[in-house]
Copies of this chain bind each other. A is one copy, B any other.
Amino acid sequence: MPEAIAYELAKKQKEISVAEFFERNKHILGFGNPTRALITSVKEGVDNALDACEESGILPDIYVELKNQNEEECIVIVEDNGPGIIKQQIPHVFARLLYGSRFHAVRQSRGQQGIGISAVVLYGQLTTGKHAKIISKIQADQPAVLVELAIDTNKNRGEVQHQEIMHWEKPSGTRIEVCLKADYKRGKRFVYEYLQSTSIVNPHARLIFKEADGTEHVFERTADILPKKSEEIKPHPYGVELGTLIKMSKETKARKLASFLKNEFSSMGDRTANAVCDEAHLDRNLNPADMSREQFLELYQAFKRVKIMTPPTECLSPIGETLIRRSLKNETQEISPEFIFTASRPASVYSGNPFQVEVGIVYGGNLPKDKAVKILRFANRIPLLFQQGDCAVTTAIASIDWRRYGLDQPSGTGIPIGPAIFLTHVASTQIPYTSESKEAIADIEEIENEIKLAFREVARKVQMHINKKVRRVKTREKFDLITKILPEIAKKSAHMLNKPVPSLEKVITRIMDVVWIEDVVEYEKVRGKPVQTKLNITAGKEPAESGGWIAKSQIMIVNYKGKPQKFNLYALFPKNAVVGEVKPKPTKVTESYIKWSLESIDPTDKIDLFFELAGLNKGDFDENDLYVQNINPTYVIGADKWEGE
C-alpha cells in the first residue's frame, strides 16, 4: 500500500520564525523600496525616542543624521536624551521582533507592536550584512555602553557581536546607528517632511536633522513642558471580545464575579458591576474560574444592555485645539490663509479601546483652488505619510458632501476640491493600523464616524464665518455710501440756501438702523517670567525664557438705531487663556467668556470695551467671538445671538 500523500506533505510542514517572516515580507513593515526604507528607519527611531523621553518625563532632544555611503547604502543615526536602555535589554529591544514594553499596556503610545526598531536592524542586516551599533547611557555618573548587534533570524534573537564601555558626555540617552540599503537622494526630502510634520504635533520636542552634506535643520520646540502623560488603564467592558473575557477570567486573582469585574475592567464601580451581574442573572459571588462558556456569554451580552460609563480618558493625550491651531498657523505662514478652524471630539470607544479625534481646517490664502484639498493625517502624534488611499481618515472625508460647505466635489463624494488643508489627529490606546508599517488606519466604523462628526463640526464653523463676513461687508458698503454722499448733499444744499450745514447723525441712524460692533485684537510682548496656564505652554519659536504674549482686544459698539439700546454682550476666549485687565467692569467672567451688561446706549452714542488675555501665543486668538442677549440679533452687525445658559 503506497504511503498517503499526507505524509509527504507533513515532511514539508515547518515553523516560520517571525524574523524570517518579516525578512521575506519587509514591505509590510514599510521597507518595500529603498526610498520608503529610509523614511521608515528614521520614523521608527524617532518614534521610539519620543516615547522613551515622554515616559521618563524628559523634554525630547532628538538628533537625526543621514550619511550616504554610496548610491546603494546609507547610514541612519538617531540619538536621544532619553533614559537609556540597560545593557541586558539592548539585544532584545533592538534585535528581537515582537518584544516591547508598550504592547500589554492600555495607554496611548507611538510604539505598540514591539516590531519597529528591530525591523530597522533586521532590514539593515538583510541588505548590507552590517551590524547595528547601539550606544546607551542610563545614569550621569556611569559610563555608556556600546553594543554591536546582529539578528539570528531563524531564532528571532539578538546576538551581541561586540561590546565595550565608553565615555559619552550626555547624562543619559540612546543612540542607534544602522547601515541600510536606501535611496538617499529621493528619500531625504521625505525625511525632512516627516520630521517637520512630527514637530507640528510634538511641539514639546526639539528635532535636529543633519543631511549627508552637513546641512542642519533645527525644528525648535514651541512648548517647553511635556504634554499630559497618558496613564495606563484597564480594558473597558464595551467591545471586549467573549474569548478575551474568558481568557481574563482564567488569569484574574479575583475569586468572585463582582470583584473580577471591578478589578479587571475600567468604568466598573460596585453599582455597575452588580447591575451587570443582575442583568446576566449571575450570582455576584460566582467564582470566575468555575463559570461556563454560556455564563460568560450571558455576562458578555449583559455588558451591552447595562449603561456603563465611557472609559477614563487619562490614557489619552490629545494635542488640543489651540496647539493644532498654532501648529497649522506656523506651517502655513507663507500661505497666509484666510482662517483656521479646529474641532475636538469627546473621547469614544471601539472594541474596548478609547480613542479621540481632533481636526483642523486651514482655508484660503494662496492655496490652489482647483486641486484636491491637502490631507494631513496623524495617529498618536505620528505623521502618516503613505497609503492615504485606504485610510479611514480619507474614507471619512470622502463620504461627506462638501458641496454643502462651499467646497467643490464632483459627484458629491470623494476628496473635495478647494483651497484648504485638512488635518486629522486620532489618539488611541490602540490605533488599528492596516499593517505593521503604521501608515493607514483601518476602516473601523466607530473611528470613521467620529472623524466625520469632527469635520462636520469644523465645516459648520467655516460656513458661519463666511456668512458673518458677507453680512458685515454688505452693511459696511451701505454705511460708507451714506456717510459719504449725505454730507455732500447737505453741504451743497446748505450752501445754496445759505444755511448752516445740519447735523446728520439722526438721519444716518434712521437709514442704518443697526447696532454696529467692530473689534480688533493686538498682541504685545511681555518680558520676564512667562505666564503659566492650563496648557502649560509659553512663548513661540523663540527660547521660552524670554517671556510671553498678551492679547489686547478692543471692542467698539455704536448705536445706529433710533432708540436707546440696552443688552448683554458676551466675548468668548480660548479655555487655556488667562484673563488680565477688563474694562469696563464685567458682570461675569468664566473660564471661557466675559459678560458685560451694557447700560442703555443712546442713539449715535459709542462705547468701548477692552480686555486682555495672557498665556497665548501670538495668533492663537486673532478674532473675537462675540454674542448678544436681550436684543434682536438681526439688528446687530458683528455679533450673533447668544445661545448659552
Q: Does A632 contact B (CB under 8 A)?
A: no
Interface residue? A440 (CB, 8 A): yes
Contact present for B442 and A27 (CB under 8 Å): yes
**A5→B128 CA distance, assembly (Å):** 34
**In chain A, residues 212-247, which have Cβ atoms closer than 8 Å to a Cβ of chain B?**
241-247
If A4-B139, A433-B28 touch, whether A440 touches B390 (CB-CB below 8 Å) is yes
Query: A506: shortest Cβ distance to chain B, in Å?
Result: 59
With A21-B98, A129-B243, A433-B28 given, is the CB distance from A104 to B10 under 8 Å?
no
| Minimum CB–CB distance for A576 against chain B, Å | 29
Distance between Cα atoms of A92 and B52 in the complex (Å)? 38
Question: Would you give the shortest CB distance from A349 to chain B, in whole angstroms?
Answer: 15
Residues of B within 8 A of A443 (CB): 32-33
Closest chain B CB from A400 CB (angstroms): 17
Contact B33 A444 (CB under 8 A): yes
Give the size category of A's interface with B.
Answer: 35 or more
CB-CB under 8 A for A100 and B14, given A32-B443, A55-B9: yes
Residues of B within 8 A of A389 (CB): 389-390, 394
Q: Mark A122-134, 1 if CB is under 8 A from B, else 0.
A: 0001111110000
Interface residues of A in 68-106 (CB under 8 A from B): 83-86, 88-89, 92-93, 96, 98-105
Q: Are B243 and A9 closer than 8 Å at their CB atoms?
A: no
A458 within 8 A of B: no
**Which chain B residue shows the least CB distance to A351?**
B26
In the complex, which residues of chain B have a beta carbon less than 8 angstroms from the beta carbon of A625? none
Decide yes or no whether A114 CB sits under 8 A from chain B.
yes
Asked if A348 CB lies within 8 Å of chain B CBs, one says: no
Q: Which single residue of chain B is at the shortest CB-CB distance from A398?
A: B389
Which residues of chain B are within 8 angstroms of A98 by Cβ–Cβ distance? Answer: 15-18, 21
Residues of B within 8 A of A139 (CB): 1, 4, 6
Q: Is the pair A21, B387 in contact by a Cβ cutoff of 8 Å?
A: no
Inter-chain contact B128/A243, CB cutoff 8 Å: yes
Bound: A443/B386 CA distance, A: 11
Q: Which residue of B lies closest to A139 (CB)?
A: B4
9 A-B pairs with CB atoms under 8 Å apart are A5-B83, A6-B83, A6-B139, A13-B89, A16-B100, A32-B443, A32-B444, A33-B445, A434-B435
Which 7 residue pairs are nearest across A and B when measured between Cβ atoms? A389-B389, A12-B101, A126-B243, A6-B138, A435-B435, A5-B83, A4-B138
